[in-house]
């Protein structure tokens, strides 16, 4: 395992300056219904309205702009098909940098098309995510491309952390922050920003019960692998890397609690957010609100739920709104 490493609050401040004007400053609204239910003020940070439909544009943009001019001239590479892949493609296009996204043959055609539509070069390699990752390593070694990892990267964590400073500005009295938790780049960054201003702030990471790698790792005391299962919170799937350097030690140090949710609870969160904001959000974005509705978080002071992404299939969202759940997440 590599040595544990960390990010400092000043890295997040520098990221904020670097990405200013290149990402949206998203709004925060109060949720009076949840406030009445819980007896504490509840606020929603509407980051699912970020360009590309997710906060990952912050980390990808900061990482891209932190490269040297020579590195930028050669280009960047990733294997992510999800919100990070989209964000990196978008950031690279804005900066005129070449982006290569390595995908396995199993990635559905619509996802391939979405990455291409953002101007990235798609390489289809092998039959698994592992093989796509090997192609990333090869491109770094043989072509001099710079890998921008989805979460275990100092510049990515600092970029995501800029959300923490926006939350403090919009709600200085914030005491409890509810953060969706997957690889932990988001949670590490925002927790660091918030605790730098208010050491007493409480940070709760929230994942789906089906395949929560960071939660299992924190329980085990070291990074572990968990089986990946279908979930409404698909953006929270995937491992944290057995050679994790940044996000495991940072989450261990900074998270006060981790909460796990079942699929019906996540669906209730999606429905509530639609009722309050009129927006369709993806399952990963709904977990904070879902945890509050499910009574899994003891209310303590003004509470902010971070809504992270809007990239949900329209037919799936309609199905959830009708009260039904897809068969594969019920198995
Ligand atoms: C990536 C992602 C997360 C989790 O972020 P990590 O840094 O991997 O913990 C949460 N919500 C959405 C919508 C995402 O795309």
Residue of the CA atom closest to atom 7 of ligand 1: 185
Q: Say yes or no: CB of residue 302 within 6 Å of ligand 1.
A: no
- Residue-wise pLDDT tens digits, 241-284: 999 999 999 999 999 999 999 999 999 999 999 999 999 999 99
Q: CA-based diameter of the chain, in Å? A: 58
Q: Is the same domain home to 281 and 294?
A: yes
Question: Would you say residue 236 has pLDDT above 80?
Answer: yes
Q: Ligand 1, residues 83, 152, 213, 247: which to mutate, most atoms within 8 A of Cβ?
A: 83
The model's confidence at residue 112, banded by pLDDT at 50, 70 and 90, is confident
Q: Looking at the domain assignment, is residue 1 inside a domain?
A: no
Give whole-number Cα distances, 210 to 152, 226, 227, 232, 251, in Å: 22, 9, 8, 10, 19
Q: Say yes or no: CB of residue 183 within 6 Å of ligand 1.
A: yes
Residue 51's CB is within 10 A of a number of other CB atoms, namely 17
Average pLDDT, the chain: 95
Please tell me the predicted confidence (pLDDT) of residue 174. 97
**Ligand 1 center from residue 256 Cα (angstroms):** 18
- Residue that finishes a domain, picked among 122, 147, 172: 147
Residue of the CA atom closest to atom 2 of ligand 1: 235
Termini Cα distance of the chain: 35
- Residue that finishes a domain, picked among 147, 176, 203: 147
Count the helices and strands in the chain (H runs, E runs).
15, 10
Residue of the CA atom closest to atom 13 of ligand 1: 309
Please give the number of the atom of ligand 1 that sits closest to the Cα of 83: 15
- Residue that finishes a domain, picked among 147, 180, 195: 147
Please tell me the predicted confidence (pLDDT) of residue 6. 87
Q: Say yes or no: CB of residue 187 within 6 Å of ligand 1.
A: yes
Q: Say yes or no: CB of residue 239 within 6 Å of ligand 1.
A: no
- Lowest pLDDT segment from 16-20, 127-131, 209-213, 223-227: 127-131
How many domains are contained in the chain?
A: 2
Question: Would you say residue 3 has pLDDT above 70?
Answer: no
Sheet-wide strand order for 99-103: 121-124, 99-103, 76-78, 146-147
Q: Looking at the domain assignment, is residue 4 inside a domain?
A: no
- Give the domain range for residue 76: 56-147
CA 256 to chain centre: 18
What CATH number corresponds to the domain at position 232?
3.40.50.1100
Please tell me the predicted confidence (pLDDT) of residue 4. 72
Q: Is the same domain home to 119 and 162?
A: no
- Residue-wise pLDDT tens digits, 41-90: 999 999 999 999 999 999 999 999 999 999 999 999 999 878 999 999 99
The model's confidence at residue 328, banded by pLDDT at 50, 70 and 90, is confident
Q: Is the same domain home to 160 and 260?
A: yes
Q: Looking at the domain assignment, is residue 24 inside a domain?
A: yes
Q: Say yes or no: CB of residue 151 within 6 Å of ligand 1.
A: yes
Q: Looking at the domain assignment, is residue 279 inside a domain?
A: yes
């Amino acid at each position: 395992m590599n040595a544990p490493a960390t990010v400092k609050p000043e890295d997040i401040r520098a990221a904020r300056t670097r990405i200013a004007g290149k990402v949206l400053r998203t709004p925060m609204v109060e949720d009076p219904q949840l406030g009445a239910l819980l007896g504490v003020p509840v606020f929603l940070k509407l980051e699912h309205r970020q360009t590309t439909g997710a906060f990952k544009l912050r980390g990808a943009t900061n990482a891209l702009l932190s490269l040297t001019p020579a590195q930028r001239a050669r280009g960047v590479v990733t294997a992510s098909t999800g919100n990070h892949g989209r964000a990196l493609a978008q950031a690279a296009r804005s900066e005129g940098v070449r982006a290569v996204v390595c995908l396995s043959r199993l990635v559905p055609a619509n996802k391939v098309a979405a990455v291409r539509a953002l101007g990235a070069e798609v390489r289809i390699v092998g039959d698994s995510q592992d093989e796509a990752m090997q192609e990333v390593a090869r491109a770094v070694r043989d072509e001099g491309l710079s890998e921008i990892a989805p979460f275990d990267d100092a510049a990515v964590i600092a970029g995501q952390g800029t959300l923490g400073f926006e939350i403090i500005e919009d709600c200085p009295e914030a005491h409890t922050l509810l953060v969706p938790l997957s690889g932990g780049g988001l949670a590490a960054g925002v927790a660091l920003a918030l605790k730098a201003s208010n050491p007493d702030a409480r940070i709760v990471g929230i994942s789906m019960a089906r395949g929560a790698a960071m939660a299992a790792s924190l329980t085990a005391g070291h990074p572990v692998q968990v089986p990946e299962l279908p979930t409404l919170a698909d953006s929270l799937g995937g491992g944290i890397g057995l050679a994790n350097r940044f996000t495991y030690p940072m989450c261990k140090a900074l998270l006060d609690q981790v909460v796990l949710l079942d699929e019906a609870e996540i669906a209730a969160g999606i429905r509530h957010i639609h009722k309050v904001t009129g927006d369709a959000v993806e399952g990963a974005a709904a977990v904070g609100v879902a945890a509050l509705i499910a009574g899994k978080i003891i209310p303590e002071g003004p509470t902010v739920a971070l809504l992270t992404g809007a990239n949900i299939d329209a037919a799936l969202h309609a199905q959830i709104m009708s009260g039904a759940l897809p068969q594969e997440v019920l198995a």
